[in-house]
């Protein structure tokens, strides 16, 4: 299995518009973060997690020429705003794009992109099929996917486990029941927004504590804000098996 970090930033990305902090002025490519998303490739199947505002750019930069389905973590705009550009894959693959998510997420997409679901569609509009999922395993092209429900303040969010790799974003709390699904991981990807307390995201210390409990072989931090600090300096503070992810990083598992 191959996982590509298409974006590792929080909702504003980095650099943040009009910000002159050290991180936003950094020339280190590891400090330049698009909105969070990953591409997972297994046995010829390409699964995308989230279509944020940078979706088009992410597809072009990473030369992605095929998608089999999109999995949605939740309905916030920094995870859904790029959906319209899925139509390029419609045209190339001559198929509707399957979207998977909680019913509430799919209902939000239906509302925000009402023109995609109109009885009479405008020519060339994106075509998708909606596939509601529950908090139970499902398969896409024989790839088994296990949802991991976390809480983003009071909003349920799905992370996903595929084989021995799990991807979780926008978590603040994770129940003991859901933590049981994360045993014996080779790779855990988990969010940490910043070092200071936040109402709806893990801090860096909270993420490190969570990693310490789950005990994956390797862990990668994503959904990072500009208040975290520079990639180079923060990486020095982390345990040996914990790494800050960056855009373009590729993992194999």
Q: What is the pLDDT of residues 194-245, one digit of tens each?
A: 999 999 999 999 999 999 999 999 999 999 999 999 999 999 999 999 999 9
Whether the Cβ atoms of residue 5 and residue 248 lie closer than 8 Å to each other: yes
> Given the DSSP bridges, would you call strands 155-162 and 128-132 parallel, antiparallel or unpaired?
unpaired
Number of H helices and E strands in the chain, helices first, is 7, 14
Cα 224 to Cα 246: distance, rounded to the nearest angstrom: 9
Contact between 151 and 171 (Cβ < 8 Å): yes
Predicted TM-score (pTM) of the model is 0.97
Residue-wise pLDDT for 18-68, tens only, equals 999 999 999 999 999 999 999 999 999 999 999 999 999 999 999 999 999
Segment holding 101, helix H or strand E: strand 97-101
Give the single-character DSSP code of 203.
Answer: B
């Amino acid at each position: 299995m191959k996982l590509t970090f298409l974006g590792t930033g929080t909702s504003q990305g980095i650099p943040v518009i009009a910000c002159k902090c050290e991180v936003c002025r950094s020339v280190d490519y590891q400090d330049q973060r698009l909105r969070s998303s990953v591409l997972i490739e297994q046995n010829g199947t390409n699964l995308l997690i989230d279509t944020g505002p940078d979706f088009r750019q992410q597809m072009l930069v990473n030369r992605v020429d095929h998608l089999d389905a999109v999995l949605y973590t939740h309905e916030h705009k920094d995870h859904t705003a790029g959906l319209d550009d899925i139509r390029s894959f419609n045209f190339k693959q001559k198929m509707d794009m399957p979207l998977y998510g909680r019913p509430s997420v799919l209902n939000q997409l239906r509302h925000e992109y009402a023109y995609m679901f109109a009885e009479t569609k405008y020519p060339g509009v994106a075509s998708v099929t909606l596939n509601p999922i529950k908090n139970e395993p499902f398969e896409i092209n024989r790839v088994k996917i296990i949802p991991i429900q976390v809480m983003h303040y009071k909003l349920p969010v799905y992370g996903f486990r595929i084989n021995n790799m799990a991807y979780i974003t926008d978590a603040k709390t994770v129940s003991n029941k859901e933590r049981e699904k994360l045993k014996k991981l080779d790779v855990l990807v988990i969010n940490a927004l910043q070092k200071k307390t936040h109402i709806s995201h893990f801090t860096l210390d909270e993420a490190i504590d969570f990693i310490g409990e789950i005990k994956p072989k390797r862990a990668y931090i994503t959904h990072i804000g500009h208040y975290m600090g520079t990639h180079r300096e923060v990486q020095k503070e982390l345990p040996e098996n914990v790494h800050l992810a960056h855009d373009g990083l590729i993992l194999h598992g």
